[in-house]
Amino acid sequence: MPTAELFVSLKVPDNVAITAFHTLERMGYKKLKKLERKGYYKFDFFGDIKKFQSEISKVDILINANKHQLSFELEKNNKKNNIKKINILVQDLDDGKGLLSTLKNRLGFKNMKNAEKGVLC
C-alpha cells in the first residue's frame, strides 16, 4: 500500500515560528539559527502515488494556493554551510480520524486507508 507525506508551509513569513524562535533564543538557546513550521500530513491509500499526489494537492482544506506552498519531500541537510537541520514532529492524539472521515466521505477519497496530521518544526 503506497504512502504519501505532504508538507505545507506558508509563502509569507510565519509569525508563529518567528515568535517561537525568539522565545527559545531568550531562554538561552543561542546556537539555534532558524525555526520553521510546516503542516504535516501522511496518507496510506490504494492506487497510483502520482495520481494521488496530484489530487490531494488540490484539496482546499489542506492547502490554500494563495498562501501555502507544498512539497512531498523534506529538504536535505546542506553540508556546505555546516548547519544541521533537525525535524520534530508534533501530532495530536486523535490520529487524524476526523481528517480521514472528511476526505473519504465529503471529498470522495474512497481509496484512502489512513490519514495522520501534525506540525513539523
Q: Which residues of the chain have pLDDT under 70?
A: 78-81
3-state DSSP assignment of residue 67: coil
- For residue range 77-110, what is the model confidence (pLDDT) as tens digits? 766 667 788 899 999 887 788 999 999 999 999 9
3-state DSSP assignment of residue 24: helix
3-state DSSP assignment of residue 89: strand
Give me the pLDDT at residue 78, please. 67
- Domain boundaries along the sequence of the chain: 3-11+39-120
Full-model pTM: 0.89
Phi, psi of 41 (to 5 degrees): -135, 135
Q: In Å, how far from its chain's centre is CA 36? A: 11
- Please, where are the H alpha helices in 14-81? 15-26, 49-56
**Cβ atoms 109, 40 nearer than 8 A:** no
Give me the pLDDT at residue 84, please. 80
Closest CA to 99 of 43, 37, 30: 43
Strand 3-10 to 112-120 pairing:
unpaired
How far apart are alpha carbons 23 and 21 in whole angstroms?
5
